[in-house]
Chain A
């Protein structure tokens, strides 16, 4: 049973370009979480999605950032018109359900570097 798969592992973009980060949850998991880790900081919650629904986006910046988790295919975190401050490690986690005792399984992350 493959774990949470994130790609690419490393992504380099120039200022103003778009970044697309992909996350395939573990088999059987229908809940996906995105976290961002800025240099020298802990992971910060961004968004929580179920298939075709955004459940909690309280950690998402108001502009340029969006996320989706379609019925088929991976979850996508999209960053438009990237700026240097977007440089960070972006981690995806998945769980099978919503309950408060559900264990989260994390991917290895995507390191975004904005030049």
Chain B
């Protein structure tokens, strides 16, 4: 079945540091890929998405590129802020599965001054 593997946290960075959170997936066909963010006490919010190979999703300075050859969708940001502290989830939606999502375990990011 479909699965998503993402790097374990927590990840602790100083403000303005470069961020990478790794995500790899297993799926048949051509899934859509997503990054969701969960701020403390809130529900998940869609951060960015990519629906086909080589697409780059971007939002709020975050980027991720859909790499079919390596089955990866790593999240990057050039300069993190304290306000980026949250839990980040990589997810996929398989072909023909309506809107059902398969999530990774989440990576907690803590940004300090």
Which residues from chain A sit less than 8 Å from chain B, CB to CB?
3-4, 6, 31, 33, 35, 40-45, 48, 55-56, 91, 93, 95, 98-104, 106-109
Contacts and interface: CB of A to CB of B under 8 A. Distances in A.
A30 to B, nearest CB: 12
Contact of B98 (A41, A98, A106): A98
Interface of B: 4, 32, 36, 41-46, 51, 89, 93, 95-106
Contacts of A35: 101, 103
Pairs A-B, 4 closest by C-beta atoms: A106-B43, A42-B103, A106-B44, A42-B105
14 contacts: A3-B43, A31-B99, A40-B105, A43-B103, A45-B100, A48-B100, A55-B98, A95-B99, A100-B99, A101-B51, A104-B101, A106-B45, A107-B43, A108-B42
If over half of B's interface residues share one DSSP class (helix, strand or loop), that class is named, otherwise mixed; here it is loop
Contacts of B97: 100
A92 B107 CA distance: 21
A109 B44 CA distance: 9
A31 to B, nearest CB: 7
A108 B41 contact: yes
Nearest to B94: A100
B44 A91 contact: yes
Contacts of A31: 99
A98 B96 CA distance: 11
Contacts of B93: 100
Chain A CB count within 10 A is highest, among B4, B100, B104, B105, for B100
Nearest to A59: B100
B6 to A, nearest CB: 8
Contacts of A56: 98, 100
A104 B99 contact: yes
Chain B CB count within 10 A is highest, among A43, A102, A103, A109, for A43
